[in-house]
Amino acid sequence: MKDYQIYLLDLDGVVYRGDHLLPGAREFVAWLEATGKTYRYISNNSMQSPTDVAERLRRLGMPAPDERVVTASQAAVDHLAKEQPGQRVWVVGLPPLRRMAARAGLRVLNLARSDAPDDPAAGPETARTVLVGLHRSVTYEDLRLATRAVLAGATLLGVNRDPQLPVEDGVDPGCGAILAALEVASRAHASIIGKPAPTILTDTLDALHADRSRAVMIGDALEMDIAAGHAAGIDTILVLSGLTSPERAAAADPRPTLVLRDLADVLAQAKAGAE
């Protein structure tokens, strides 16, 4: 395989599943470190900061400095801060997302509570953007105020469009379910930062001043990781250690650049390619 310089790694189904590392994960990342490759863990999470995700990876025994983790929530607030520093944002999301937005330098109009403006004179109608993450205690009032903001002209931006959130005992509604409610109510179509949108990848590559011809996205989901990598214009490796069966991989459109068993297989191929 090609001698890539930049590796973007999906987490669930690639690096770990549940509380177990997948074959080759630790060895592959150790090899990336030892050979001076650039890598980033890419998480579609809309609630957690890179520090939260890095802590989880370190608990599992992975090398994971905070700065190697990109979450869709952090990518979304950074994207807005770059687009217009200090812009006025109304956040539908949990306190960590609202704090992340404030730390990125955005003017969060509802930092203290998701369902009320901090300053009654600066209500949702004055927002430039409505940012939507997963909000596990979302209320009708949250939806009402965010709808008013979009109807008054704010842009609707979703951290991701995941319809479902897999949890211990089944499946919960995901960020995309809340976003869909707001799209219906406001008749707006949201933009998205997380996969399968390419933005999380292209913003990461831009921040690294990366040569895209030497970057690769490694993931286990065709409709998420491979679609995002394809849309970002970079090579993709589908690993079969997660969601995708060999049969579905063979029929994939767009086709991944490579289909490999797991990160152990990627490591073997990468070593061969680097020689």
Number of Cα atoms under 13 Å in the Cβ half of residue 140: 0
* Between 143 and 217, CB nearer to Mg ion: 217
What is the C-alpha separation between 110 and 124, in angstroms, rounded?
8
Collapsing DSSP to helix, strand or coil, 263 comes out as helix
Min dist CB 73 to Mg ion, Å, is 17
* Between 13 and 24, CB nearer to Mg ion: 13
Q: Which tokens in the block code for residue 259?
A: 């289909």
Contact footprint for Mg ion (CB under 5 A): 10, 12-13, 220
Which residue's CB atom is positioned nearest to Mg ion? Answer: 13
Strand bridging mode 155-158 / 129-132: parallel
Establish whether 10 is a catalytic residue. Answer: yes
Min dist CB 22 to Mg ion, Å, is 10
* Between 80 and 218, CB nearer to Mg ion: 218
Min dist CB 122 to Mg ion, Å, is 39
Residue 60 and residue 16 in contact, taking contact as beta carbons nearer than 8 Å: yes
Min dist CB 13 to Mg ion, Å, is 4
DSSP assignment letter at 86: T
* Between 181 and 201, CB nearer to Mg ion: 201
Tell which residue, 215, 217, 271, 214, has the closest CA to residue 239.
217
- Residues β-bridged to residue 131: 91, 157
Residues annotated as part of the active site: 10, 12
